Amino acid sequence: MNNEIFQTKNFIVEAHLKPFISREEGGHIRIKVKDENITDRTKLEPIVAIELMRLTMVVGEALQNAMNKLGIPVIKVNYQDMGNWAYKENKLPFLHVHIFGRATNAVKQPWPESMYLPDRKTDFYEGFEPLNENEISEIKKEIGEIFKREKYDDKNWHL
């Protein structure tokens, strides 16, 4: 399965293949910087930071819209910068933002509780499924529609 959803000049949007929230509980998308030498948002040039903010907004709305259209009751979207686990492997992190759909009927990651993120070595994530091709396709459509809105026009974001 191709997990790529969308790309901009500086970022790749993808369905996380090892999700922290399974698709039936809302889904998990990651936006990662193309230049993996950028370790966190403080290293971004202003124009790239603007690009990232706009992209997180569009992708979060697209995830919520698409999942609801497909019958998964996403009521809220959470956004999280992380990268701490890279240090467990003596690596530097690269900037990435996780976008989590939070479904009202979730069992393993129940809403409105905070996300629970135990170490990958536990069995907590067993059975978690990434977004499927149909969901990715619907999210792509939503991103296309959202980017057509005047609110997200490049000129309004000084891009």
pLDDT tens column, 42-85: 999 999 999 999 999 999 999 999 999 999 999 999 999 988 88
Reduced 3-state DSSP string for 136-150? HHHHHHHHHHHHCCH
Q: Count how many residues are written for the chain.
A: 159
Domain boundaries, the chain: 4-113+131-157
**What stretches of 90-143 adopt beta strand conformation (E)?**
96-103
**Can you tell me the distance from the alpha carbon of 121 to that of 119, in angstroms, rounded to the nearest whole number?**
5
4-113+131-157 adopts what CATH topology? HIT family, subunit A (3.30.428)
Cβ burial, residue 142 (10 Å; 0-12/13-18/19+): buried
DSSP string, 55-103: HHHHHHHHHHHHHHHTT--EEEEEEEE--GGGGGGT-----EEEEEEEE
* Tokens 């971004």, residue located: 44
Q: Is residue 110 reached through a cis peptide bond, with omega within 30 degrees of 0 on the bond before it?
A: no
- Helix, strand or coil, per DSSP, at residue 12: strand
State the pTM of this model: 0.96
Give the C-alpha distances (Å, rounded to integers) separating 105 from 52, 70, 143: 30, 14, 25
Tens of pLDDT, residue by residue, the chain (159 residues): 789 999 999 999 999 999 999 999 999 999 999 999 999 999 999 999 999 999 999 999 999 999 999 999 999 999 999 888 888 889 999 999 999 999 999 999 999 999 999 999 999 999 999 999 999 999 999 999 999 999 999 999 998
Residue 4 φ/ψ, nearest 5 degrees? -75, 135
**Can you tell me the distance from the alpha carbon of 60 to that of 77, in angstroms, rounded to the nearest whole number?**
6
